[in-house]
Amino acid sequence: MERIYIFKRFERFWHWSQALLIIFMMATGFEIHGSYRIFGFEDAVSYHTTAAWLLIGLWVFAIFWHFTTGEWKQYIPTMEKVDAMMKYYITGIFTHAPHPFRQTTLRKHNPLQRLAYLFVLLLINPLIWISGWLYLFYNDWAMVGLENLPLQWVAYAHVAGAFMMLIFFIAHVYLATAGHTATSHIKAMVTGWEEVD
């Protein structure tokens, strides 16, 4: 058994504050969508908007951090060992087979994680963000020549993005228990130190 330092302090701060904001935005967002009532529409909109601006602020720092530290390279996709990962999740994990991927500080995500996060970064986030910005700046659409854009298209995109985020969230939370032990990934995300074989 070995412990390696995977997640640096900013990264952990970024992860957990983003997690809280996204959970809160899903809670308020689906209320605005009409799925249930917690805060009331007006407050839900107000909280959702405030959380959006906070998340934007957080992201500005996170993007800056990723580029200055070179950590963005963690998201470069690879197909290497993807099949092994799939096989591990389908059978190996039940028989205590060895994990096919060994984390290092330079490769902290397994190949499936890389693909999943890249999918979030390149598809889900842009969908939510662009549609969300359009929602926020509805009155100014004419300034960028979008006055004929139907609001429902923006709404559909935003809601579809939200569903994808919800599905990602469920899978992500579950796979957080699929490390060396059920809690090793979660501990690593809190302390920075991951136990590896």
Partner 1 sequence: MKTTRFHWGLLLLVGGLCLSTTGYAALQPTDTPATIGKESARKAPSTADHTKFKELQRSFKDGPAVTEACLQCHTEAAKQVHSTKHWTWEYLNPATTQKLGKKNVINNFCTSVSSNQTFCSACHVGYGWSDDSFDFSKESSVDCLVCHDTTGKYKKIPGLSGHPNYDRIELPPLSGKFREATDLQAIARNVGKTSRETCGTCHFYGGGGDAVKHGDLDSSLKTPKRYLDVHMDADGLNFSCGECHLSDAHQVAGSRYAPTASDKDGILMRGKDHGRNPATCQSCHGSTPHPAQHAKLNDHTDKVACQTCHIPEYARGAPSTKMTWDWSTAGRLDENGKRLQIMNSAGMVAYDSKKGDFTYDRYVIPEYVWFNGNIKYTLFGDKVDGSEMVKINEFMGGPDDPDSLIWPVKVFRGKQPYDVEHQTLAVFHTADKGDKDEAAFWSNYDWEKALEAGMATTGVPYSGKHDFVATEMSWPITHMVAPKGDALSCEQCHKENGRLKDVKGIYMPGANNTPLLDTLGFGIALLTLIGVLIHGGIRVYSARKEG
Select from 171, 190, 191, 193 the one that contacts partner 1 (CB under 8 A): 171
Select from 2, 9, 152, 197 the one that contacts partner 1 (CB under 8 A): 152
Query: Please, where are the H alpha helices in the chain?
Result: 9-33, 41-69, 82-90, 111-119, 125-136, 151-175, 184-191
To the nearest whole angstrom, how small is the minimum distance from the Cβ of residue 106 to partner 1? Answer: 29
Which has the closest alpha carbon to 23: 175, 168, 196?
168
Q: Cα(162)–Cα(183) distance, rounded to whole angstroms?
A: 27
> Residue 80 — φ and ψ, nearest 5°?
-65, 130
Which has the closest alpha carbon to 124: 92, 66, 86, 171?
171
To the nearest whole angstrom, how small is the minimum distance from the Cβ of residue 35 to partner 1? Answer: 7
To the nearest whole angstrom, how small is the minimum distance from the Cβ of residue 83 to partner 1? Answer: 18
State yes or no: residue 94 binds partner 1 (CB under 8 A).
yes
Q: Using CB under 8 A as the criterion, which residues of the chain lie in contact with partner 1 when the complex forms?
A: 32-35, 40-42, 45, 49-54, 56-57, 60-61, 89, 93-96, 136-140, 142-143, 150-152, 155-156, 159-160, 162-163, 166-167, 170-171, 174-175, 177
